[in-house]
Structure 1
Amino acid sequence: VNNLFKTGPFDQYPTGLGFSYFYGFIAGETSQYEPRLFENTNPIEPPYTAEQGYHLTEDLADQAIKFIRNNRALTPDRPFFIYFAPGGTHGPHHVHSEWADKYKGKFDMGWEKLRNITFQKQKAMGWIPSSTELTAIDPTMQKWEDIPESEKAFQLRLVEVYAGYLEHTDTQDGKVIEELERQGLFNNTLVIYILGDNGASAEGQHGTIDELIAENGLPSTAELQIEVLNRDFGGLSALGSKHVDNMYHSSWAWALDTPFKSTKLVAAHFGGTRTPLVMSWPNVIKHDSTPRSQFHHVCDIVPTIYEAIGIQEPEHVEGTAQIPLDGVSMMYTWNNASAVGRKDTQYFEVMGSRGVYKDGWFASVFGPRIPWHQNATRLKEWNPDTDVWELYDLTKDYSQAHDLAKEMPDKVEKMKSIFLVEATKNKVLPVGA
């Protein structure tokens, strides 16, 4: 609460948590055209308006480039650390129409066929194991053939906007990388690129012009969304603009999570948690095209950085004892694609959905909430003690296609015990709180 006052202490702002400078937004999301910006601890206005062409992701890239140039000019022999975290492609899906227009017609086949095409490309490129099975659509999800013709243009434009937003974000990331190259820094800079903090979002439910409708549990339909869009905002051309907070249909999220099951807010399936990661350090990491299959988690990023720069995890910072890091460095994978994985245990939990990884096995519970449906009754009747657990052998089943829980009940019980230990140790309990 103290951080709400103009006098501080601001110890929970980035500048109170180790960063010497901060420029960006504090909230979980913000408008790309009219963001609530902070510089260090001071609220500021964007440098120019949406009508003048302002876009937050472009601004953040420009600020990162400015930081690199200033550091190079003032302290050329001093290393630097940048955490570049644009809002894309988190909601709201805001991007200028010329980016979305690039994708007109690219999704006309619908989400089932898109998922099949994506799956075949993933296999052909070697990004997933050749034995991977494509999991089926959840029976509670809407199929493309069930979408009325009167709604399809709306559903297609929503995902076209997202695709344009994704390319736009990637382009801004590329501008920062290009600056490193221009300054002669790229070959000796460790770059860690993570696309997203979770799987694709199903919070758009039936397709929406305001994702907060679903987050607040308000009933709505695509038909009503289209009616309001046409009446108040000028139709499909408004999607991606500052006037709406649009989000694609939840079944597009399922397609974008190929080959996995489920979506964001489901810790039980990798469609909710698995995201791409790329690391580059040309002077240290020998480039090859082999994906690393070792199991790792975002908590392994800091240990990787510590090992890379050769420092020990501090036990105290400014007199305050530190909680030991749970993570495992990924540096051992850099020049050995087939190295034996060193992370043996990892728990997951969000809103009662949960899972635990242990030495190639994964046990999980879907939980009380279906992100792509509003079902208050399910939550009211939920009892975590009676949840049904699933079990997967990830060494043979990359996409969690085969639930082995009924065949191996003893293994399930062991995995449940491991989850309880990890949840207790990491202050997760009570589950769903």
Structure 2
Amino acid sequence: MRVCVIGTGYVGLVTGACLAYIGHDVICVDNNEAKVKLMSSGQSPIHEPGLPEVMQSAIAKGKITFTTDIAAGVTHGEILFIAVGTPALPDGQSDTRYVEAVARSIGEHLHDGYRVIVNKSTVPIGSGDWVRMIVMDGMAAQGGSSKAEFDVVSNPEFLREGVAVFDTFNPDRIVLGSSSDRALKLMQELYTNIINREFAEDKTLSPVPVVVTDINSAEMIKYAANAFLAVKISFINEVANVCDRVGADVVEVGRGIGLDSRIGQKFLQAGIGWGGSCFGKDVSALIHTADDYGYNTELLNACVKVNQQQRVLVVEKLQQVLKILKGKTIGLLGLTFKPDTDDMRDAPSITLIDQLSRLGAKVKAYDPIVSQSGMRDGFSNVIVETDAERLADGCDALILVTDWKQFKSLDYAKMVPLMANPVIIDARNFLDRASLETAGFKYVGMGR
């Protein structure tokens, strides 16, 4: 099928590359010429495992091209994905101006034929009708010459950064929201190979469930899913804080309650809280939507508050061990909001850097991605080191911020004599406490 993806951030680029990889003819549109040139050469502008290989395979087969020409993309595609960013505004609303600009531009270049316009961006509930209105405004700008028809579909993404390619080929479900049988049929045809698990790691599984619903419900599914996961993390962090006070171990508690099939093991790892571009933005958007309709989401408000407090709690634990932080040197193991990504959006490390600097501490950091990239020169109030031993040198304490798997195998015994004070705050409960204490560290976990 002929596909156009407008916007090549995490969602757009992964979606476009994977659809091309499975055989569709894809044009990806972005207004950044340098980025288009980079992608056309087979290089990914983002760090996402497996993505460069998928891109290069699709390019070699002639299945994907990159352009700044939105008219060419709209003319090419029978299915048009809107995959631009919807960042949070200061009041918690989603900034939909990029979606609006794309929808209007699509309308201005729709001349004939039938198109399915797909909201892949996470948009406020009710945006399906709004996008339809904007597209029609764009068509009207043609002076009534357009003979095109279109339907709008909500097809929210559930990709996890760091495993986005895997998630595309192995989804838990595909959600399609529309009132048009014609559009829904085309969308299911588009995803046939993925639904049938032809590119899945485990091809013995049953077909991927397809949730067919109305647009508003599809949009709500995306927000509700992320809000639920955020609440689950905030819940286990609340439990961890009680565990600290009563002498229980939240790792054991999480393991015990997670064996209940109604609860499950995932997202029960206590620590520094959630970050990234999705949870905070989507929870805030849902809170704001509810407020627009006269409902106060007390549980979601509490979820956000707990998450904010959790980041400050790490600094409090440091103060309990070191007392005064002014004049101390603190090293952060990890900067990105999660492992296997270069994404710094709403990363807990940013809060820690700000808080520690405010308290007069000198902050150093080492991150497997950031330390090796040009990003390391763009940070203020932090010295980004090139390896873990340089990080440890002269530190009064280390804080494990991001659970990169390579941090499990660092030679911590070598780091102890380099430090002024061998303390480690394991803000993810990720490291092996016994081996660290054997190496000579004072270990402090979260809820342990």
Q: Quick check: TM above 0.5?
A: no
Higher RCO (C-alpha 8 Å, min separation 6): 1
Which TM-score band applies after superposition, normalised by the shorter structure? under 0.3
Normalised by the length of structure 1, the TM-score is: 0.24
The structure with more strand, counted as a fraction of residues = 2
Report the TM-score when normalising by structure 2. 0.23
